[in-house]
A and B are shown apart, each in its own frame.
Chain A
Amino acid sequence: MIDMRQLFNAYTQLRQNPSQFLQKYGIPQQFTGSSQDAIQYLMNNGKVSQEMYNNANNQLKQLQNNPMFKQFFNK
């Protein structure tokens, strides 16, 4: 089960300073320009597998289609 409080804390840090947040988790600065670069770095280094990313992407899509999620984030 995901710890939602930790998730929101991480989310807030990511919003405030994305590059710093990603560097904190070991991603070199040159890969922190975009989320695309960051995830590609993690996949190239085998820290994130294709299956892990596919599952995460799938969960995110489901979450984005959830009416309550839309109500929450579209305010």
Chain B
Amino acid sequence: MPYSFYQAYPGYNPMYYQQLQNMQQPQQNTQQTTQIQNGGFVMVKDISEALNYPVAPGNSVTFKNENQPYIYTKTLGFSQLDQPVFETFKLVKEERAEAPTTASEDIVAQFLTLDEGNALRAELDALKAELIELNTELTELKHELGDDTRTEVSA
């Protein structure tokens, strides 16, 4: 039977007319808040409500199931001959990311800071210079020793 929605509300009694007018105003006041809370989603009770929801050509509507963790999208192309595309997405709760662990801190600790790197480079340069100096002294000593030997031999 068509229009079951309207037929579910048989005739009205004029005595309620004023009551309905009175409740109209607060409804308008709360409308904006509710729309913001929905965040662009159309809330539906089940998937059938989303499937039957009218969508204008060239539009896409996103639905949120009020009772189950599902999101639906219904998209209609620009042509009226297009069939609507209906997609279902299941929401999976993701636990909050844990605080940085000691393992990751260890990894960070394995890297040198710039200051530490510069200090090491300076130390290495000093050691190189010292090594060169020692090598020079050793060469001189060898020469001296060779000269002395020659002197002794010659003497």
Residues of A within 8 A of B13 (CB): 75
| A40, B31: Cβ atoms closer than 8 Å | no
| A58–B6 CA distance with the chains assembled, in angstroms | 17
Within 8 A of B (CB), among A43-66: 43-44, 46, 48-50, 53-55, 57-59, 61-63, 66
Residue among A2, A4, A57, A72 with most chain B CB within 10 A: A72
| B20, A72: Cβ atoms closer than 8 Å | yes
- Chain A residue, CB-CB nearest to B12: A8
| A1–B24 CA distance with the chains assembled, in angstroms | 9
| B34 at the binding interface (Cβ < 8 Å) | yes
| A14, B23: Cβ atoms closer than 8 Å | no
Residues of A within 8 A of B19 (CB): 68, 72
Chain B: residues with CB nearer than 8 A to chain A?
A: 2-3, 5-9, 11-13, 16-17, 19-24, 27, 30-31, 34-35, 38, 42-43, 52-57, 59, 61, 80
| 10 residue pairs bridging A and B, Cβ less than 8 Å apart | A15-B7, A35-B5, A36-B52, A43-B56, A49-B56, A68-B19, A68-B20, A73-B8, A73-B9, A73-B12
Q: With contacts A53-B56, A61-B43 known, what are 11 further pairs, Cβ within 8 A?
A: A4-B24, A8-B17, A43-B55, A48-B56, A53-B54, A55-B35, A58-B38, A66-B27, A68-B23, A72-B16, A72-B19
